[in-house]
Amino acid sequence: MTMNQMEAAVRIAQLSKELDEHNYRYYVINQPVISDREFDLLLEELIRLEIQFPELLLPDSPSQRVGGTVTREFKTVVHKYPMLSLGNTYSEEELRDFNERIIKLIPDEPVQYICEHKFDGVAIGLTYIKGKFAYAVTRGDGIQGDDVSANVRTIRSVPLQIHAANCPDEFEIRGEIILPHSAFERMNEERADIGESPFANPRNAAAGTLKLQDSAEVARRKLDCYLYALYGKELPFSTHEEALNAASAWGFKVSNDRRICQSIDDVLGYIRHWDQARLHLPFDTDGVVIKVNHFLQQEELGYTAKSPRWAIAYKFKAQSASTLLRSVSYQVGRTGAITPVANLDPVQLAGTTVKRASLHNADQILKLGLHEGDTVWVEKGGEIIPKITGTEPAKRKPDAQAIHFIEVCPECGTRLIRQEGEAQHYCPNSSGCPPQIKGRIEHFTARKAMNIDGLGSETVDLLVDKGLVRDIADLYSLKKSDLLALERFAEKSATNLIQGIEDSRSVPFERVLFAIGIRFVGDTVARKLARHFLSMESLIQADKAALLEAPEVGEKIADSIQAFFADPMRKKLVDRLQEAGLCMAIDPGEAPKRVSDRLAGKVLVITGTFEQHSRDEYKQIIEEHGGKNGSGVTGKTDYLIAGKDCGPSKLDKAAKLGVKVISEVQFLDLVGLATAD
């Protein structure tokens, strides 16, 4: 069906409203009424219309949740209302003192409290103007923070538009951006998979994610946002409770665990309950925030220099237990990274039995001063794996030996290495060490990589142990008869696996690039590399400068790519995969489209920052018009496109070599994209 613009506008508005409603049901109140598939169909229809009628695409469209904006530098914004902190208490006594102070200041009326979770994340202020999300600012120093709007837009539970009629023209709502445990665990697994060090806790992970420059990556990480305070001129509420109820009715995620308490004893009851119950929440909390409910009373109590007198945070003590260290074992990952693990006498902690705790690396063992048979303290936050926080040297036997990190690989006996500046030890025997071989095959066959069904870790173990498969390329010479000879396989399972391997030959290049397992090259980086270099061959040929020109690639990734292909064994492996018929270049349908020949045969170099498009977009535009992207200014360069703040070195070189320097606008003019104004 073709639509005119008016019809499209009506349909876009209707789809946006419906999608907002479904987002709200799914991400805010956890009561979806349609399937993911149905949701995707509505979203696809919206995106199609917005592509067809680009003038109808609005910044608060539900299609904008996937991100895509690249922020080079976060703008500093001064808070309209300073972002204060809260006084902390750690005991019942201190809390009773807080209550006494308040009663003294407001002696003639009853004081009602409202208790909430103290969310353990990153504080954020969201400003809405005329019912639309305007911008989001981090706490910063409390006076001014960073504008992280592009990233916050990707958080599905943050409404981009408020459909309720009764919300004020302008207001700010504050809350906490958190990473739920499930998203945190998944993210750390992915990081370990590509040899990145894991985030220590969900708060650090949320903070790191919020400061990413690529909002599309933020969208994938599944942040969430709970709100707990409204600010604005003449808001029509007399209590904090009313304000939160209104915020909830406008579509914000406000925790339902908030409670009105009539006395400090009620407050203590709430605290006691959540001290335990919080361990079952899907996110981290580190305490309870207690606020005076009535705004008039809040005003009367006022503020100290740093925090309100009408609120306080009660911090929970970390859950800890003491037990005995039985032994330390060492796990070998697919990248060869060695992770020490403490095996403990089983101990009850926060509702579960703990038998193992992560020790991270050699430095951690040294820092703890760990000895054999030590009495150790284990603590558990929201993370699944508890950590050891200390030892009790006084209980140590006099002859107890200090734990020394192993020197050779526990799996293959190879001497371990530890690179300068790295915390982790590695087993360098990548081609002969069984867990590394198996880990690489598992990574290769995983859903996000080659997606080969029927190759779970047990099957991989079996194929490797039986000598049928030694590396990922061997998979492509497996025959059905090989499988049928193994006890585990019957006709059907063998046929399925062979078919799965066969099907993987058509998996797109970007996933092949991820699957081969270059350290630090996760699925996102692989996708960007594939689009930038277009083929394995040009990636292999790229020198360091060319690698650094690619989006997302810094020193660490560039070095890792070069080291990978410099290894003759790995290079050979890639050749064998090519012989097996895997996709080693981007599908021409996905390659940059050719828009004109205006830059045919020209080499252009870009430097500095730009206003109208990102650097990546400029690189794409250059290719679309037949030009080539050069990495540095040389005699072959035709144009240097100089943006703002470009360093002098490229300009000097251009001047010396007589290379023409053009501005952003001149470039856009050159390719016919300059706007009239």
For ligand IVH, the binding residues (CB under 6 A) are: 84-86, 116-119, 123, 176, 228-229, 289, 308, 311, 313
Q: 143 or 563: whose CB is closer to ligand IVH?
A: 143
Closest distance between ligand IVH and the C-beta of residue 289, in Å? 4
Beta carbon of residue 174, minimum distance to ligand IVH (angstroms, whole number): 7
Please say which residue, 286 or 471, places its beta carbon nearer to ligand IVH. 286
- The tokens of 653 are what? 């070189």
CB of 308 to ligand IVH, least distance (A): 5
Nearer to ligand IVH, 225 or 574 (CB): 225
> Which residue lies nearer to ligand IVH by CB, 120 or 549?
120
Element (H, E) at 291: strand 285-292
- Residue 1 Cβ vs ligand IVH, minimum distance, rounded to whole Å: 49
Q: Could you tell me which of 637, 643, 646 has the C-alpha nearest to residue 663?
A: 643
Smallest gap from residue 250 Cβ to ligand IVH (A): 18
Q: What is the identity of the amino acid at 196?
A: E
Per-residue CA distances from 440 to 220, 494, 541 (Å) = 24, 22, 24
Residues 6+ apart with CB under 8 A from 4: none
Name residue 352's beta-bridge partners.
Answer: 349
Residue nearest to ligand IVH (CB): 123
The C-alpha atoms of residue 372 and residue 327 are separated, in whole angstroms, by 7
At closest approach, how far in Å is the CB of 100 from ligand IVH? 21
Spot the catalytic one: 75, 80, 104, 118: 118
For the CB of residue 315, give the shortest distance to ligand IVH in the complex, in Å: 9
Assess whether 211 carries a catalytic annotation.
no
Instruction: Name the residue nearer to ligand IVH (CB basis): 74 or 314.
Output: 314
C-beta of 125 vs 551, nearer to ligand IVH = 125
Least Å distance, CB 77 to ligand IVH, is 17
Q: Which is nearer to ligand IVH, 155 or 427 (CB)?
A: 155
Nearest Cα residue to 336 out of 387, 445, 412, 450: 412
Q: Count CA within 13 A, CB hemisphere, residue 329.
A: 9
Residue among 201, 176, 173, 175 nearest 187 (CA): 201
For residues 306 and 359, the answer to whether their CB atoms sit within 8 Å is no
Which residue lies nearer to ligand IVH by CB, 315 or 602?
315
CA angle 560, 565, 567 (to 5 degrees): 100
Q: Which is nearer to ligand IVH, 314 or 514 (CB)?
A: 314
Shortest Cβ 307–ligand IVH spacing (Å): 6
Tell me which residue has tokens 């707990």.
Answer: 228
CA 240/CA 98 separation, integer angstroms? 19
In the complex, least distance from residue 229 CB atom to ligand IVH, rounded to whole angstroms: 5
CA nearest 625: which of 636, 610, 638?
638
Q: How far lies 166's CA from each of 21, 126, 131, 163, 653, in Å? A: 17, 18, 9, 9, 60
CB 66 within 8 A of CB 217: no
Structure tokens at 257: 């665990």
Which string of b and e fits 31-56 if b means at least 16 CB within 10 Å? eeeeeeeebeebbeebbebbeebeee
Output the DSSP codes for 639-677.
EEEE-BT--HHHHHHHHHHTPEEE-HHHHHHHTT-----
Nearer to ligand IVH, 284 or 664 (CB): 284
Specify the residue, 85 or 91, whose C-beta has the smaller distance to ligand IVH: 85
- C-beta of residue 146 within 8 angstroms of C-beta of residue 77: yes
DSSP line for 492-555:
HHHHHHHHHHHHGGGS-HHHHHHHTT-TT--HHHHHHHHHHH-BHHHHHH--HHHHHHSTT--H
Distance CA 526, CA 507 (A): 13
Dump the DSSP string for 111-177: --EEEEEEE-SEEEEEEEETTEEEEEEE-TTSSEEEB-HHHHTT-TTS-SB---TTS-SEEEEEEEE
**Shortest separation between residue 238's beta carbon and ligand IVH, angstroms:** 18
Contact criterion met (CB below 8 Å) for 565 and 521: no
What's the rounded Cα separation, in Å, for the pair 458 and 476? Answer: 19
Q: What is the 3-state secondary structure (H, E, C) of 77-91?
A: EECCCCCCCCCEECC
Catalytic annotation, residues: 118
